[in-house]
């Protein structure tokens, strides 16, 4: 598979995770919704970077992911702060014992929606 096919695969994963986040939020599963939103954002970032640069990093801690997105061009730079906010919930949603609030879960889904919408625009899909 080439970069374009990989970008579209990541976009499909992003959409699926975003759909799950919306359902989880509706069911008041706030931690699950935030976790799914984070996954949607990460996959959207990968789709954008692959489409615009032909590559994406695969770091475990995602610290390099926001600068990579910003370096992908104006579309990526415009999403950098949204992506950083979304990644800021990753540890709490996926690794810590405490729950995520409804407010934070709602914000996470909104941020992920922005990311997925941008990935759709960038890929033309």
User: What digits encode the pLDDT tens for the residues 76-89?
Assistant: 999 999 999 999 99
What's the whole-model pTM score?
Answer: 0.95
Please give the pLDDT value at position 62.
Answer: 77
* Cα–Cα distance measured from residue 85 to residue 90, given in angstroms and rounded to the nearest whole number: 9
Please state, in angstroms and rounded to a whole number, the distance separating the CA atoms of residues 117 and 123: 10
| pLDDT of residue 63 exceeding 90 | no
Which one, of 12, 28, 22, 25, lies nearest residue 119 by Cα? 12
pLDDT for residue 93: 95
pLDDT at position 7, please?
Answer: 98
- Domains defined for the chain, CATH in brackets: 3-123 (1.20.120.330)
Answer whether residue 59 shows pLDDT above 90.
no
- Answer yes or no: are the C-beta atoms of 12 and 41 closer than 8 Å: no
What does the pLDDT average to over 12-33?
A: 98
**What distance, in Å, lies between the first and last C-alpha atoms of the chain?**
17
Percentage of the chain surpassing pLDDT 90?
92
């Amino acid at each position: 598979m080439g970069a374009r096919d990989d970008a579209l695969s990541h976009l499909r994963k992003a959409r699926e995770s975003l759909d799950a986040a919306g359902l989880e939020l509706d069911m008041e599963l706030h931690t699950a919704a935030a976790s799914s939103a984070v996954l949607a954002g990460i996959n959207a970032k990968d789709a954008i970077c692959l489409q615009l640069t032909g590559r994406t990093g695969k770091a475990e801690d995602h610290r390099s992911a926001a600068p990579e997105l910003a370096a992908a061009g104006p579309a990526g730079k415009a999403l950098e702060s949204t992506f950083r906010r979304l990644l800021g919930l990753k540890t709490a949603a996926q690794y810590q014992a405490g729950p995520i609030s409804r407010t934070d879960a709602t914000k996470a889904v909104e941020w992920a929606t922005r990311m997925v919408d941008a990935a759709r625009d960038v890929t033309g899909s």
